[in-house]
Structure 1
Amino acid sequence: MKEGNIQKVHLTSKVLLTILMSFSAGMYIFSGEPTIFTDLGYPSYLMYPLAIAKILGMITIWSKYSELLTNWAYAGFFYDVILAFCAHLAVGDGEWAPSLIGIILVLSAVFTRMKK
């Protein structure tokens, strides 16, 4: 793949990942319903810290302040979407598709970032 195409794929996956994480963080903050987490087997007090972590992660990957922090942000996003995917499969609610999309977007963003 040409360098210009890799950059386009990286930017597209980063934008789509940002949209997904923004929607997720907004849902946690503005829904106010702890059943989002408790139905998946997680404690409800994780909603707000996770929303804040997602917002900080998005700021980190866009600011390019630190290579190390950017790597940690992508790692955090990866763990988040993997755990969400597994939790949705475990409870059988059929809501696993956004998590699978998140896995694909994180992997795409990370691998294209490494190649550019």
Structure 2
Amino acid sequence: MATPYIYWISTALLSLLYFVSASLYIAKGDFVRKAQADLGYSAAHLMPFMIAVKVLGPAAILWRFNVALSDLAYAGIFYHLILSGLAHLGVRKPKGAIPAAAGLLLLVGSFATQNAARELPSPYAPVAVIQASPN
């Protein structure tokens, strides 16, 4: 079945998106502060928090030592991506919302297929429907 491959590819790409973003926050802090100021945010308060979120969220999903924490990370990333996309659209910069839209697609792929690839199932992920053949 292709479902475990979909899970691992979408999860790896989503994690890569977040880890690269966190490294950008660390390496190019002045650029990120200016970009956040253009969106109307106080970057001095957001930078350390966002670096932590962008590292710990995907780590909780990849490591998955606790299913509830992994589900909470999915929810946090979902809200982050929605708010990020809306922030860019709100200042009429739709190109800035493209990474958030791509991240949402990867997030949905990862969340929807996690039970097919992980030993401990999430109670919130969709359950695959198995159709029995009529005999």
Matched, 1:39 2:28: no
Q: 2:75 matched to which residue of 1?
A: 75
Give unpaired runs (5+ residues) of structure 1: none
- Name the structure, 1 or 2, with higher relative contact order (CA <8 Å, separation 6+): 1
State which structure, 1 or 2, has the greater radius of gyration over its C-alpha atoms: 2
- AA paired with 2:4? Q
Q: CA RMSD in A?
A: 1.3
Cα deviation 1:51-106 (Å, max 9, x = unaligned): 11121112211111000110011111111111111011111122111110011111
Query: In 2, Cα distance between the equivalents of 1:47 and 1:102?
Result: 20
- TM-score normalized by structure 1? 0.90
Report the 3-state secondary structure (helix = DSSP H, G, I; strand = E; otherwise coil) of the residue aligned with 1:95: helix
Given that 1:64 and 1:70 are in contact with CA atoms closer than 8 Å, whether structure 2 keeps it comes out as yes
Q: TM-score if structure 2 supplies the norm length?
A: 0.78
Identity percentage of aligned residues: 32
1:18 aligns with 2:15: yes
Give the Cα–Cα distance (whole angstroms) in 2 for the partners of residues 38 and 30 of structure 1.
18
Q: Which runs of 4+ in 1 moved over 3 A?
A: none
After TM superposition, give the deviation of residue 36 of structure 1 in Å. 2.1
Higher helix share: 1
Give aligned pairs, total: 113
